[in-house]
Amino acid sequence: MTGSAGFERLLRAEWTKFRTVRGWVIGMGVAAVVMLAMSLLGVSGSSAGGGRGPVPVGPDGKPVNDAFTFVSRPLAQDGSITVRVTSLTGVILANGPDESPSHAEEPWAKAGVIIKASAAQGSPYAAIMVTPGHGVRMQDNFVNDNAGSSGAVSPVSPRWLRLSRSGEMITGSESVDGTSWTDVSAVRLANLPDTVLVGMFVTSPDHEVTTQGFGELDTIGGPTVATATFDHVEVEGQSGTGSWDHVVVNGGERGLPPGIEPVAEANGTFTVSGAGNIAPIVAGPGSETVEQGLIGAFAALIVVIVLGTMFITSEYRRGLIRTTLVASPRRGRVLAAKAIVLGTVTFVVGLASSAAAFALVGKIRSGRGIRVYPASSLTEVRIVVGTAALLAVAAVLAMAVGAVMRRGAGAVAAAVVLVVLPYILAVASVLPAGPARWLLRLTPAAAFSIQQSTTEYFQVTSTYTPSTGYFPLAPWAGFAVLCAWTAAALGAALVLLRRRDA
């Protein structure tokens, strides 16, 4: 019995052990049932959210904020716009009658020039802008952001901005004196119509301050308004010679507060005030996300950890391990065969149950009109398949810990404490965001990032902490942390299995 045929028989032997022990078959069924039950319980308390109208979506189908004051004119085919920005100031509006407005710029208030397909919210655009806190930026289609030079503008250090269109390519450049120019970025906007809108814009996102209380987040804040001064406005290309259109793009929602004029024009100098944001909407505290519908994975995880541990410790308890090792003296192969059979079975059961939970929860949500933070179908596949992979690798980790400790109770406790406890400490405890992030980088709990559907954007101020569903590692990187722990545990198990008497 050598070579691959021998390993095949070993695999079959392990599969037979798994298949014929009633407790393990029942256990896998329990894993599937608790996954469904807990997921359904998690979604049972949800109800349709606030009555906001339809949210505009950007070119990639993701929800966006698209509200700003726009001084525009049409531009047919290629051309460019150049302006000088001499100031950008802001006001945080009073949130209630007992507060007074304070003069402070939002770091991500924006003033600059924009080329946009139309005045419709969510239409493709590219813009170059100055910001109070993040210097010059070139942004396009809501999600893309490129940094230019740093520093804010003021009358003594104004900034020149230029945006030029050539076909589908839009190039943004900046200058401190209007003569020597630096390109910030060149972006391609697909499906840009022949005639676009070109002009100046100002916008200013809501002020937001989040404090972490006792395992809960408190967010306070309010609307802000930014005002910018533009001069030396120059448009090249077929843009007509007519006057500028003044549009407040906001989808009919909240406008500027009374007393603030959106646009004032005198001798070629434009003073523009705006509120809102041109940016993707991020899932903040209280948003319902896709992965919340798979919360049952935690219950299934504990069940498969128990099963994975018992897959090896019960052999020690009953002495079956000696028979196994007599039949196949190469211990590394035994361990590999066990890991493959356990991992495969757990993956298949996990995939079936997470797909079922995903489908059922989706049905319940759409039936109740619950709006979920949208995820692409690729992301949804990653979440469902990743959940199954997480369960499979965690089961193998538990088996490896079981092989090291040989005692089921300690091994289960160790595996659960390694995988689940860091998540609880990071997400629902007194730990501040910094240490919580380190827990989710270093411990196997990092793997839960495979379920994350939300995206963090540098250009959007929000609460990106583990307790609001933002993991410090990318999905597959987090999963790799769990795999590394499992590989290390398997390595330790292999060494001990070879050294020790069974």
Partner 1 sequence: MRCALHAEWTKMRTMAGNGWLVTAIVALTIGLSAAVSAAVDCTSAGCDADPTKTALTGVVLGQAIVAILGALVISGEYGTGMIGVTLAAMPRRTTVMAAKAVVLSGVVLAAGIAAVLGSLLAGRLILPGNGFTAGHGHPAPSLADGATVRAVIGTIVYLVLIALLSLGIATVVRDATVAIGTVLGVLFLFPVLAQVVEDPDLYRHLQQISPLIAGLAVQNTMHLADAPIGPLAGLGVVAVWAGAALLAGGVLLRRRDA
Q: How many CB atoms lie within 10 A of CB 252?
A: 8
Rule CB under 8 A: is residue 319 a binding residue for partner 1? no
Give the binding range for partner 1 (CB under 8 A) out of 112-120, 170-178, 320-328, 407-415. Answer: 407-415
End-to-end CA distance of the chain: 22
- Contact region for partner 1 (CB under 8 A) — 106-114, 349-357, 402-410, 474-482? 402-410
Residue 264 sits in the site that holds partner 1 (CB under 8 A): no
Q: Specify whether the backbone of 252 is left (phi greater than 0), alpha (psi in -120 to 50) or beta.
A: left
Provide the H-helix boundaries in 234-376: 297-318, 320-327, 331-368
d(CA 292, CA 468): 11
| Cα distance between residue 372 and residue 42, in whole Å | 14
Q: Does 305 bind partner 1 (CB under 8 A)?
A: yes
Shortest CB 420 distance to partner 1, Å: 5
Residue where the block lists tokens 């489908």: 359
Q: Which is nearer to partner 1, 116 or 406 (CB)?
A: 406
Among the listed residues 431, 450, 489, 494, the single contact to partner 1 using CB under 8 A: 431
Q: Which of 411, 445, 489, 490 lies at the binding interface for partner 1 (CB under 8 A)? A: 411
Whether 260 contacts 304, CB under 8 Å: no
Candidates 275-283, 347-355, 425-433, 455-463; binding stretch for partner 1 (CB under 8 A): 425-433
Min separation Cβ 450 and partner 1, Å: 16
- Tell the smallest beta-carbon distance from residue 43 to partner 1 (Å): 8
Using CB under 8 A, pick the residue from 164, 239, 273, 292 that binds partner 1: 292
Please identify which residue in the block is written with the tokens 């929800």: 63
Among 439, 444, 394, 436, CA closest to 418: 444
> Do 81 and 234 meet the contact criterion of CB atoms below 8 Å apart?
yes
Binding partner 1 (rule: CB under 8 A), the pick from 61, 193, 319, 435 is 435
Cβ atoms of 122 and 64 within 8 Å: the answer is yes
- For residue 341, report the phi and psi dihedrals to the nearest 5 degrees: -65, -50
Token look-up 């996300």 returns 289
CA separation, residue 241 to residues 73, 76, 232, 263, 270 (Å): 9, 13, 16, 19, 17
Q: Which two tokens stand for residue 403?
A: 């092989």
Alpha carbon distance 312, 402 (integer Å): 6
Q: Does position 396 bind partner 1 by CB under 8 A?
A: no
> Considering beta carbons, is residue 430 or 495 the nearer one to partner 1?
430
Q: Give the x/- contact pattern for partner 1 in 205-224, rule: CB under 8 A.
A: ------xxxx---x------
Q: Which is nearer to partner 1, 72 or 313 (CB)?
A: 313
User: How far is the C-alpha of 258 from the C-alpha of 105, rounded, in Å?
Assistant: 19
Query: Smallest distance from the beta carbon of 115 to partner 1, in angstroms?
Result: 40
Cβ-based nearer residue to partner 1, 20 or 47: 47
Contact between 464 and 496 under an 8 Å Cβ cutoff? The reply is no
320 Cβ contact list (under 8 Å, min separation 6): 314
The answer to whether 196 and 75 have CB atoms below 8 angstroms apart is: yes
Query: What region, left, alpha or beta, does residue 460 occupy, with left being phi > 0 and alpha being psi -120 to 50 degrees?
Result: beta
Selected from 83, 228, 272, 303, the binder of partner 1 by CB under 8 A is 303
Q: How many residues bind partner 1 (CB under 8 A)?
A: 49
Interhelix angle 22-44/3-20, rounded to 10 degrees, is 70
Q: How far is the CB of 233 from partner 1 (least distance, A)?
A: 41
188 binds partner 1 (CB under 8 A): no
Instruction: Give residues 32-51 in contact with partner 1 (rule: CB under 8 A).
Output: 38, 41-42, 44-47
Q: Which CB atom, from 164 or from 309, has the smaller least distance to partner 1? A: 309
CB of 231 to partner 1, least distance (A): 39
Residue range at the interface with partner 1 (CB under 8 A); choices 100-108, 126-134, 165-173, 312-320 = 312-320
Strand partners, 128: 113, 138
Residue 292 CB, nearest approach to partner 1 (Å): 4
Give the residue, chosen from 226, 310, 337, 450, that forms a contact with partner 1 under the rule CB under 8 A.
310
**Cross-strand partners of 249:** 68
Least separation, in Å, of the C-beta of 95 and partner 1?
18
Pairing of strands 135-140, 125-131: antiparallel
The contact pattern for partner 1, residues 349-368, with x = CB under 8 A and - = no contact, is: --------------------
Q: Is 461 in the site for partner 1 (CB under 8 A)?
A: no
Structure tokens at 18: 């798994």
Under the criterion CB under 8 A, does residue 486 sit at the interface with partner 1?
no
> Which DSSP helix (H) or strand (E) runs through 444?
none
* Binding-site member from 92, 384, 427, 473 for partner 1 (CB under 8 A): 427
The answer to the question of residue 416 lying near partner 1 (CB under 8 A) is: yes
Interface with partner 1 by CB under 8 A: which residues? 38, 41-42, 44-47, 211-214, 218, 286, 288, 292, 295, 298-299, 302-303, 305-306, 309-310, 313-314, 317, 407-413, 416-417, 420-421, 423-425, 427-432, 434-435
